[in-house]
């Protein structure tokens, strides 16, 4: 579900009202990648490759927006928000999972 939401948020044309709240898009990007990284960490375990894959998806999404989508534009600040959200999501999931009894992880 998180991946499907990310596809809509990252690749569907923007709405005109999106610019009404400054930096709202950065918060959305960070939250989206927080959820993606946390669910990746929960599902696939502590393999760093999972975090790398989420960050690679973040960078790739910005490159795709910049290069191939006329209705979107890639932004390095969005990629930075994505990466920050991914790292925070990974750390939060790691911490939450450490609190669970071993059989529930």
Q: Does the residue 32 lie in any domain? A: yes
Please check whether residue 93 lies inside any domain of the structure.
Answer: yes
Q: Is residue 50 part of a domain?
A: yes
- Confidence class for position 104, pLDDT limits 50, 70, 90: low
40 part of a folded domain: yes
Long-range contacts of 66-69 (CB under 8 A, 24+ apart): 69/11
Tokens standing for residue 35: 């959820």
| Statement: residue 13 has pLDDT above 90 | no
The reply to whether 39 falls in a domain is yes
Q: Considering the domain boundaries, does residue 6 fall inside one?
A: no
Q: Which residues of 59-79 are buried (b: 16+ CB within 10 A; e: fewer)?
A: eebbeebeeeeeebebeeebb
Structural domain contains residue 64: yes
pLDDT per residue as tens digits for the range 66-87:
998 878 888 899 999 999 999 9
pLDDT at 16 over 70: no
Q: Is residue 8 part of a domain?
A: no
Flag whether the pTM goes above 0.75.
Answer: yes
Q: What is the pLDDT of residue 50?
A: 97
Query: Average pLDDT for residues 51-74, to the nearest whole number?
Result: 92
Mean pLDDT of all residues belonging to the chain: 90
Considering its fold, how many domains does the chain have in total? 1
Question: Per residue in 35-49, pLDDT tens?
Answer: 999 999 999 999 999
**Which region among 11-15, 22-26, 79-83 has the lowest average model confidence (pLDDT)?**
11-15
Domain extent for 55: 25-104
């Amino acid at each position: 579900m998180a991946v499907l939401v990310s596809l809509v948020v990252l690749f569907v044309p923007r709405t005109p009202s999106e610019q009404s709240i400054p930096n709202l898009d950065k918060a959305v990007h960070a939250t989206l990648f927080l959820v993606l990284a946390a669910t990746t960490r929960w599902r696939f375990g502590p393999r760093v490759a999972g975090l790398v894959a989420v960050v690679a998806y973040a960078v790739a999404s910005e490159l795709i927006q910049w290069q191939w989508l006329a209705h979107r534009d890639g932004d390095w600040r969005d990629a930075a928000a994505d990466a920050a959200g991914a790292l925070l999501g990974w750390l939060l999931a790691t911490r939450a999972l450490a609190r669970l009894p071993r059989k529930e992880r």
